Every structure is written in C-alpha cells, then in structure tokens.
Amino acid sequence: MKSMDSVVEAVRADLLARSQTGIEKYGKTLDREDLCLREWLQHAYEETLDQANYLKRSIMEIDAVSNEWPIDKVLLSPRRAADEIARLRVGRGQSFTEGTSS
C-alpha cells in the first residue's frame, strides 16, 4: 500500500534500503533471535548516542553559519534561500552566478 504522503514514502524507502544494507552487511534480519532484549536495547542506545552526535554537529554548524547569516535565513526553503542569496549578492554588487561553483 502506497501512502499519499511523500514524506512517509521517503521514510518507507529509507527503511527498506537500511534493512537491505543490514542484511548485506551482517547476513541477518531483525528477526534474528541471537540477541536478548538487553542487547537490543544496547544497540538502540548506541544508535541514539550517534544520533545525538549528528544533531549536535548540525547545531554547531548552524551556529557557526548564523554569525554571518541570520538563522532565519539559513533555515529557508531552497527557493527562498536562493532568492535571499541573490538579493544579498546584488547588494554586494555581485551577479547571481558569481561565487557559485558548477
């Protein structure tokens, strides 16, 4: 059954891809029975710690960028961000394509 929600479909695709990666890497599915509940929880805990590190790193990057760009500009939609960059470049006397890499 396919969802009408594109985000749900993207998550679903990620879950399936992640499952396939795990099967290829470890040769097992999550149906395995060689781990006790405590070991499953330990795995989940360690993954959560990794997630905390990724989140903190992202927050630190936003904080570093916000010194140059106001935070509300960093978190714009891609279209609004492109418009804002163009506006700022024009204000600095640059064309839209200056400073971009192809």
Does residue 88 surpass a pLDDT of 70?
yes
**Helix (H) and strand (E) counts in the chain:** 4, 0
Contacts with 95 (C-beta within 8 Å, 6 or more apart), sequence order: 89
Q: How far is residue 99's CA from residue 62's CA, in Å, rounded to a whole number? A: 21
pLDDT of residue 45: 98
Q: How far is residue 56's CA from residue 50's CA, in Å, rounded to a whole number? A: 10
Query: How many other C-beta atoms can be found within 10 angstroms of the C-beta atom of residue 86?
Result: 14
Does residue 75 surpass a pLDDT of 70?
no
pTM of the complete model: 0.57
pLDDT of residue 102: 43
Q: Where are the domains of the chain?
A: 1-34
Q: Give the residue among 71, 3, 21 at the shortest CA–CA distance from 29.
A: 21
Instruction: Provide the sign of the torsion angle of the four alpha carbons 47, 10, 74, 98, taken in this order.
Output: positive
Better pLDDT: 87 or 99: 87
Q: At 59, is the pLDDT very low, low, confident or very high (cuts 50, 70, 90)?
A: confident
